[in-house]
Structure 1
């Protein structure tokens, strides 16, 4: 399957299996390489967030210097966002047949180059149109980060451990998001508030990260002479591609069967729209809401934004651990529990009396951030779990396409329109409705997941 695409990739194609190593060498090398590749994708993916979209960090400077207006900033941000959403899907198709050791570092290096061009070539930042084009390109190569990371997670970590491993890896974006702020502040301090430093300094660090990722990542265990992870840990996958189909179906036919016409994947994509709309609907508008409704200062509003992101680290890891240890790999039930809790916390955030102390809405938005990032991670994880390994990146990219292009843009543009025309009450009512709609989608998916788990256990008994 996919031999034509694979052969067309040339030097970027996934390496063929190496001769199997002796058992004692397998026992020695497997644990070390698992730790090594995990560090590689964690640091590598964090590197993408150093240079994903640094325009908002210097938006006020760009406006003050007369380079653009708020509308222009929105156009540039949406260009990067839409490109990233589409790229996450199409890069997933290519990544499933590519060498993860090359694919991720190349995407990160290209993104760094795009940021260096913005900083170093004046005419590229002289107009909104040119700036948006470069950020569209940046958003596209940014989409080369998630799929190879998902490929590594699928091939090096088995189903029963993948929840906690994916949740730990997923907080790489929080780590990257933290350090981009540090680098931006450092760059502005060193250059006397030259906005270009917010692009070139993180880009230089990202190039070093790309080299580190290349040195650490390996594509698959089989390419290193090791057995598949399912055999190594005696932990069969939930879904496997039919051997005959793998030989006879084309790349597109396989994607069509396991992704585009797969009800579970479509429902996961729709659930992702709801989750991303709520994530960005709360996060993006927290400073404005706290200022307008809760009478918070600018510092207080930014504090709410930061607490939301910080809490996501703890919430994501907790969610992954619960999905593995308490819910025994059932990601749908875990997601349902978290989304119901998100709906409740959002209601408190909205309905608390206007005269309550500021720490109460700040604490509530922190709880929302801690809860929502779990389902964000879980949906991508479910796409990996519930699809064959040879289309896992494509499946995760498909859910990401919906989440970013529909969910995130709905949050950035749609929430603003609703707030402007109808006020905060209807806005929060709609956000809570999205929470509940996500619960409905996950409940339907749960039936499929229960069937998959039952088949997984039956297969393990027979084997």
Structure 2
């Protein structure tokens, strides 16, 4: 299968020539392909897994020391929400715009560069006193950090669609998605270590993870390769005899990149619905995660270490939930991601209700168990929406499609989760906040049900193409 130069694997240089995707090289012989393909698949997978986990070490560490900053009088709940929101909104816009660049860029360069720049932003927070002295400046630096963070997901999505085919992508994506939780858990460990080594100096929560992230960026560079074709290998569809759910349209080769984006993303009903669903999935994810340390401190009487433990358990539990969700979507629901998402969201709603309604007199471990279950369940739908964007769009715009859903999730969902919830907590209390979170669950289930109709059409088309090849 020969790729055109406009699909991100050819000679389209795009806006930044040094980042341009490498062109296909001369095809290797069959014996070499048989030996090299499996090894490279494992290598590039490890590269995007380790690399993306590195982004979560330095994404938005302000919630980890939120209660400490409040106690020290540096910030209040609204200020923490504003700073967190700045990072998440920037990430949402960057994820979409970076996706349009990443679809034509070399993933081997794109991901490590973004991680290095994000690490620099975190070092600035830690070592430039003027940043922490000004809410506005703090928010600006975290906005910049969020922008560099947006360079992480798109190259990973690009690698997934080029190296892993449709009938294995649910499981493979769910395993990769665990990088969220590995990084999220690891930053909790690094934060606790940094605070203990510096006698609760909050800056350690920024500089120590940043130094580790720099090392991770170097490792990712040595592991990642862009596409199979650039390594002299056949496309993944040819290698595994597994066609894509949505095939590339030959007519798109005559269109500009933005024309293809408008056609397959901005005017695509399914992508729009996925983006809207993502608003509420991310509002739930960050609505619980961002505020868990503060909620456990204010309502459950947890210490700073106890609040960080809740944050880390939320992320750690996501590993099991994500893997289970990916397996179920491939094996139990036979590739239907929407029905899988509905099942997990109903369970999320139940876990949130338990977290909220647990009596304040109950031991802290009861609340920690509840937040662990929420983390274990919500990352399934988080992963599924990104996977559906990859599955239900041509691979030449896969990164852009996933970035589009992320744009809605992080910009609108982040607003609801950070500064929005901060306002609700300050003015109406935690009870109203939890009712709002449960409403988000219901809305997400409705969107998944609508998306399911479109997904069934794509699944049936994929089965017909598979039967034809057989």
Q: Is the 8 A contact 2:81 2:422 kept in 1?
A: no
Report what 1:394 is aligned to.
Answer: 400
The 5 A counterparts of 1:29-178 are 29-59=36-66, 70-178=77-185
1:12–1:228 distance in 2 versus 1, CA, 3 Å = same
C-alpha distance after superposition, 1:373-424 (max 9, x if no partner) = 1001110111011111010011111111111111122022333433444444
1:418–1:136 distance in 2 versus 1, CA, 3 Å = closer
Greater Cα shift, 143-152 or 426-435: 426-435
Q: 1:209 Cα shift? A: 1.1
Q: Is the 8 A contact 2:67 2:304 kept in 1?
A: no
1:296–1:51 distance in 2 versus 1, CA, 3 Å = closer
Q: 1:287 Cα shift? A: 4.6
1:281–1:72 distance in 2 versus 1, CA, 3 Å = closer
Report what 1:179 is aligned to.
Answer: 186
CA distance in 1, matches of 2:102, 2:261: 13
CA distance in 2, matches of 1:64, 1:421: 20
Q: 1:84 Cα shift? A: 0.8
C-alpha distance after superposition, 1:65-113 (max 9, x if no partner) = 6655554433322221111111011101100110000000010111122
The 5 A counterparts of 1:288-437 are 288-290=294-296, 302-351=308-357, 359-437=365-443
The 5 A counterparts of 1:246-325 are 247-290=253-296, 302-325=308-331
C-alpha distance after superposition, 1:200-258 (max 9, x if no partner) = 3322221211111110000000100101111111111100121122x111111111111
CA distance in 1, matches of 2:14, 2:303: 58
1:117–1:399 distance in 2 versus 1, CA, 3 Å = same
1:160–1:415 distance in 2 versus 1, CA, 3 Å = same
Q: 1:185 Cα shift? A: 3.6
1:340–1:199 distance in 2 versus 1, CA, 3 Å = closer
Which of residues 443, 456, 461 in structure 1 aligns to 2:462? 456
Greater Cα shift, 163-172 or 175-184: 175-184
Greater Cα shift, 108-117 or 35-44: 108-117
CA distance in 2, matches of 1:316, 1:386: 20
2:233 is the alignment partner of 1:226: yes
CA distance in 1, matches of 2:347, 2:82: 34
Q: Is the 8 A contact 2:121 2:145 kept in 1?
A: yes
Q: Is the 8 A contact 1:323 1:334 kept in 2?
A: yes
Greater Cα shift, 305-314 or 54-63: 54-63
CA distance in 2, matches of 1:5, 1:122: 43
Report what 1:241 is aligned to.
Answer: 248
1:130–1:419 distance in 2 versus 1, CA, 3 Å = closer
Q: Is the 8 A contact 1:100 1:218 kept in 2?
A: yes
Greater Cα shift, 383-392 or 180-189: 180-189
C-alpha distance after superposition, 1:153-188 (max 9, x if no partner) = 111111111111111111112211222233334444
Which of residues 208, 212, 217 in structure 2 aligns to 1:210? 217
Greater Cα shift, 187-196 or 7-16: 187-196
Greater Cα shift, 391-400 or 422-431: 422-431
Q: Is the 8 A contact 1:333 1:446 kept in 2?
A: yes
Q: Unaligned stretches of 5+ in structure 2?
A: 1-5
CA distance in 1, matches of 2:292, 2:100: 35
Pairwise CA RMSD of aligned residues?
2.5
Q: Unaligned stretches of 5+ in structure 1?
A: none
Q: Is the 8 A contact 2:286 2:417 kept in 1?
A: yes
CA distance in 1, matches of 2:300, 2:133: 38
CA distance in 2, matches of 1:198, 1:298: 13
Q: Is the 8 A contact 1:67 1:127 kept in 2?
A: no
Q: Is the 8 A contact 1:20 1:227 kept in 2?
A: yes
Q: 1:432 Cα shift? A: 2.1
Report what 1:21 is aligned to.
Answer: 28
Greater Cα shift, 188-197 or 302-311: 188-197
Q: Is the 8 A contact 2:67 2:293 kept in 1?
A: no
Matched residue SS, 1:253: helix
Greater Cα shift, 162-171 or 415-424: 415-424
Q: 1:192 Cα shift? A: 4.9
TM-score normalised per structure 1: 0.92
1:382–1:179 distance in 2 versus 1, CA, 3 Å = same
TM-score normalised per structure 2: 0.90
CA distance in 2, matches of 1:210, 1:63: 33
1:412–1:156 distance in 2 versus 1, CA, 3 Å = same
